[in-house]
Amino acid sequence: MSRVTLHRIERGEPSVTLGAYLSAIDAVGLQLELRDPQARPAPADDAGLPERVRLAEYPQLQRLAWQLHDVDDLSPADALSLYERNWRHIDRARMEPAERALLQALVDRLGGGRLLV
């Protein structure tokens, strides 16, 4: 693939062929999955997820939520979003096992198995 084609892909230019996009996707180790836009996803199994995530129980999440005043808990979806948006501020070495388990459950059940960071 030429450097020019790669730059066109990065800019999202419509003139790039689908084959070039597929080559770039393969080169970075990703897979393309086509889905029926009319099909509804199966409801997520929320077993193992708390109804509300208490910030006081998860130190790394609590650090990320410093700007949320008078908030003691978050919905699981909000907690996952906060982790993803601020992942660069997480001290993974100091993350406790319970918080790792919560994060994995959030990713598995709400994130489609992928942490978007």
For residue 42, count other CB atoms closer than 10 A to its CB: 6
In whole angstroms, give the CA distance from residue 60 to residue 80: 12
Q: What is the DSSP string of 30-75?
A: -------TTSPPPPP--TT--SSEEGGG-HHHHHHTTT-TT--EE-
All structural domains of the chain with their residue ranges: 1-34, 53-110
CA 61 to chain centre: 15
The interaxial angle of helices 3-11 and 18-27, nearest 10 deg, is 90
pLDDT, one tens digit per residue, over 35-83 is 776 665 555 555 678 899 999 999 999 999 998 889 999 999 999 999 9
**Is this model's pTM higher than 0.75 or not?**
no
